[in-house]
Amino acid sequence: MTAITSLETRLDEVVRQYDDLHDELALPETSRDLNALKRLGREVARLKPVVEAYQRLNETRSELGGARELRDSESDDEMRSMAREEIAELEAREEKLVEELKVLLLPRDPADDGNVILEIRAGAGGEEAALFANELLQMYLRYAGRHGYRTEVMSLHDTGIGGVKEAIVEIAGDGAYSRLKFESGTHRVQRVPSTESTGRIHTSTATVVVMPEVEETEIEIDEVRDVRIDVKRSSGPGGQSVNTTDSAVRITHLESGLVVEIQDEKSQHKNKAKAFAVLRARLQEAQRRRQREEDSAARRSLVGAGDRADKIRTYNFPQDRVTDHRVGMDLSNLPKVLGGDLDKLINELLTTDQAERLSALVEAGPGT
C-alpha cells in the first residue's frame, strides 16, 4: 500500500466517523443526554477540520484532472500554456493540503482539550529560589488570564517574605493542557539578588510539573483500601495557626507512597476534594511517564518528556534574555515573558513537537 493510498484510506474512515457522529447527534435520545451532547460535539469539532481539508483536497484534485485533460487535448499553444500554469498552481495547492492533512491526522493526546493541575516548587537557591518560584506562579496566572482560562490556587506554601516553597494551581479552559504541557521541567534564573552586596550573579532553580486534570471515573480511588486520610489544624508560615478547626487534609496513597496535603480552604470537605483531585492527577501522570519511558520516540524527542530533572529554560536578568534549551530559542524583554507573554515560546515548542511526530510517522511507513 502506497503512502498516498494509506492516507486516503484513513481520511475516508474519518469522513465515515464524522457522518456517524452527526447521525448520532440527530437521535432524539441524544438531545436529552447532556453528557452525550458534550462528548459528541467535542468529537465533531475535532474531526471537522480534517473533513473540510479533505473536501478541499478532492476539489483541487478534480480541478487538476480537468486542467491536465485540457493541456493534453488542446491544440492551441496559448491555451496549453495557461493550462500548464494552472496545473502548477493546483499541484502546489494539492501538496500543501496533503501536508496539512498529515498534521491533522497525527494522534492527539486525549488530555489536550482538558484542564491542568500545575505544581511549582522552589529548588536550589534558598530564598532566591522561592522568590523565583513565586514569579513563575504569577507568570502562569497572567498567561492563563491572557487566554481566558479560569485559575484557582489550590495550595500555597509561602515563605512569608514574598517567596513560594510550593504552589498547586488549577488552570481550567478548553485546550489548557495542550498549551502548557511542555512547561514541565527545571526552570533556572540567573541574576543578582537584592541581598547580594558584591554584585555577584546567583543561579537558582524552580521545578514545574504540568498534569492533566483527571475525572473521578478515570482514576478510581477507594478511600478505605487505597489511601490513609489524616486531618489536622491548618497552619501558616512559621507554624502560626490559620484557623482553629481541623480542616487541613493529608492523603497518603498506600501503594505508591504519594502524599498530598491541602490546607488552604477552611472547609475540610473542600480540602479533601482538592487533595483527591491532585492525587488523581499525580497517579495518572506516573502512568503516563511510565508509558513515555517505554516509547523510544518520546525518549528521543527534542522537546523532552517533561521530567522535572530536565533543565528546560533559563531566565537571565543581566542579559534580559529567556532561553529555551530544547529548541534553542532566545527571547529578549524578560519582564514581558514573566508578565505572561509566553506564546512565542509555546508555539515554537508545539511546532517542534508536531514536526518530530510527523517525521516519526513518515519513518514508520504507511502501515501505521
CA–CA separation, 13 and 20 (whole Å)? 11
Extents of the domains making up the chain:
3-104, 116-355
Average pLDDT over residues 191-206: 86
Highest-pLDDT range among 77-91, 138-152, 212-226: 138-152
179: which 3 cell numbers?
Answer: 498549551
Contact (Cβ atoms closer than 8 angstroms) between residue 202 and residue 190? yes
| Res 263 pLDDT > 80 | yes
| Res 220 pLDDT > 60 | yes
pLDDT digits (tens, 9 = 90+) for 95-111: 999 988 888 888 778 78
Q: What are the CA-CA distances from residue 328 to residues 171, 206, 264, 278, 314 (Å)?
A: 27, 20, 39, 32, 11
CA–CA separation, 354 and 361 (whole Å)? 10
Contact (Cβ atoms closer than 8 angstroms) between residue 285 and residue 211? yes
Sheet with 202-212, strands from edge to edge, namely: 150-158, 164-172, 116-122, 202-212, 185-191, 311-316, 321-324, 329-332
CA 143 to chain centre: 13
Residue 363: its pLDDT value, please? Answer: 57
Please tell me whether residue 119 adopts helix, strand or coil conformation.
strand
| Res 238 pLDDT > 50 | no
Note if the pTM is more than 0.85: no
pLDDT digits (tens, 9 = 90+) for 17-54: 999 999 999 999 888 888 888 889 888 988 999 999 99
- Alpha-helix runs per DSSP H in 155-197: 176-180
* CATH class of the domain whose range is 116-355: alpha beta
CA–CA separation, 316 and 334 (whole Å)? 8
Percent of residues, the chain, with pLDDT higher than 90: 57
Long-range contacts from 162-165, C-beta under 8 angstroms, 24+ separation: 162/131, 162/134, 163/122, 163/127, 163/129, 163/130, 163/131, 163/133, 163/134, 164/120, 164/122, 164/130, 164/133, 164/134, 164/137, 165/121, 165/122, 165/130, 165/133
